[in-house]
Chain A
Amino acid sequence: METSAKKSLRSFYWTWVILTAVGVGLSLWLPRRYMPAAMSNDAHLTMTTMILFSICAAPVASGVYAGALHVLRHHRYRGDGVPPPAPQIRESTKLLTSWITASAILTVFVLVWGLGALAAENGSSSSNPLVVNVTGQQWVWTFSYPGTHVVSDELYLPENREVEFRVTSLDVTHGFWLVNMGVQVDANPDVITTIHTTPDKLGVFEVRCEQFCGLNHAFMDAVGYVVTPQKFSSWLSAQPARA
């Protein structure tokens, strides 16, 4: 016959398994539902990383919640007055070894994956990227394309070509954020910061400032378009010459 301790332990394990399954389900569903639609290699990598890390965290978080529920259910003091001293917890070498090993594996995996993703996002994969100079000033973004006469308040990018953004500011610190591209970098006065991405999906995306930069910070946004290379060339040619 099963002892009461074994029964309660079994209910703890089942709670853990169920909560982990719910956590994994949410990890797969929530990022896709609530993160901006990915339109670049970096945004896809960010999305994958977010999902993977959430899945890794699910059993850990679920273990904590299952443990808390188990304690509340089976070890709650129901008497009056001050509870008597709890019985001494005996260590379990098997449990400790399993817990520490699993935690170490998860942590090392997250570290290695994270460093790899960081290196992939920071690196350049093309010898001929499209260079776009990005200038922030209170409270407008402007984009210029070296080698052309084009300066625009809208950001046009060709599909499937690496883009190198050279970001700076004319006044205070702004935050250059391409919401759907996984690109976010400070725009600092007198400093040019370089960041790369490769748009891989046609469509419209948002450009925002994500550093509070003054009175009209909330209005400091612009529209971006990922278009085919042919349309991009046509757009460049159609822009008026600036004085």
Chain B
Amino acid sequence: MDRSKSLGVALVSVLLGGGALALGGFVLASNTPHQKALQCIESSTHSHTCSVTLSTFPDSLEGVHGANGGPHPDWVTYSNDNVVVPANTTVNMTIDQYDTGGNVNNPFFDSVVGTNGGTAAVNGKVVTHVALGDTGHTFTLRGIPGNGKTLFVSVPLPYNFGTKFPVRLGTGTYPKPVVVKFSFTTGGPAVYEFNCEFPCGGSREGNGFGEAMQAFGYMSGTITVK
């Protein structure tokens, strides 16, 4: 085989190999499940204000992970991993907490940080922190999306001590939720990440940061500021 023919064969092989890899990547990316974006609903009475509601569940039976909880029905989860909020807007967030709890491994996360006013309302009562050992999950939002702007919000979601399970959602039954309300103000367009800082994800060398804490769509998600 002469030199130019060899080069041609090598070039075609590289192109075919690259094309096959690109096609494989595209198919895998297309098949990755993405939850539908939860839009923050803009207020009709207050400008630059919107509201959004999330929930935290002790299992995945509520429905967003598929019939009967999907592949991991026993994993704790947020109700949505994909939230979209407008830029330069006050976001009034409500989180319905259906799960139990315990001790966070860093007392910093017992406190409310970064909300407007530095407070949150738990079942209507204004608080700055949750009592030691009474944290169920946390909503911790942060990131520096490459533009130097920062956003850090961390709110403890208290232990739900409910012993009756009157609430039926999806195929799960839950106690009445602990309702946590707070607000924060967004800056310019960016993507931030939120996750739970309570060790609720099952074992990862026994520290509770495995399973649901290490998988997108369960105890973590993104907030896209548009």
Q: Would you list which residues of chain A between 215 and 243 have a CB under 8 Å from chain B?
A: 215-216, 219, 221-223, 240, 242-243
Could you say which residues of chain B place their CB within 8 Å of the CB of A144?
A: 108
Contact B213 A142 (CB under 8 A): no
How many of chain B's residues have a CB under 8 angstroms from any CB in A?
A: 34
Cβ-closest chain B residue relative to A189:
B207
Contact B195 A221 (CB under 8 A): no
Contact A243 B131 (CB under 8 A): yes
Interface size, A (range): 20 to 34
Contact of B108 among A172, A219, A242 (CB under 8 A): A242
Could you say which residues of chain B place their CB within 8 Å of the CB of A172?
A: 204, 209
Contact of A142 among B108, B131, B195 (CB under 8 A): B108
Contact A170 B105 (CB under 8 A): yes
Could you say which residues of chain B place their CB within 8 Å of the CB of A221?
A: 143-144
Interface string of B202-225 (1 = CB under 8 A from A): 001001010001111000100000
Q: Would you list which residues of chain B between 137 and 160 have a CB under 8 Å from chain A?
A: 140, 142-144, 148, 150, 152, 154
Q: Would you list which residues of chain A between 57 and 80 have a CB under 8 Å from chain B?
A: none
- In the bound assembly, the distance between CA atoms of A135 and B152 in angstroms comes to 16
Contact B197 A140 (CB under 8 A): yes
Q: A153-B152, A214-B209 are in contact. Are A243 and B143 (CB under 8 A)?
A: no
- In the bound assembly, the distance between CA atoms of A153 and B220 in angstroms comes to 19
- In the bound assembly, the distance between CA atoms of A16 and B197 in angstroms comes to 58
Nearest CB of chain B from residue A14's CB, rounded to whole Å: 35
Contact of B144 among A137, A139, A206 (CB under 8 A): A206
Contact B152 A243 (CB under 8 A): no
Contact B209 A171 (CB under 8 A): yes
Cβ-closest chain B residue relative to A137:
B106
Interface string of B123-140 (1 = CB under 8 A from A): 000001111100000001
Sample 11 A-B pairs with CB under 8 A, ordered by A number: A137-B209, A139-B193, A139-B195, A140-B154, A153-B152, A170-B105, A214-B214, A222-B142, A222-B144, A240-B128, A243-B131
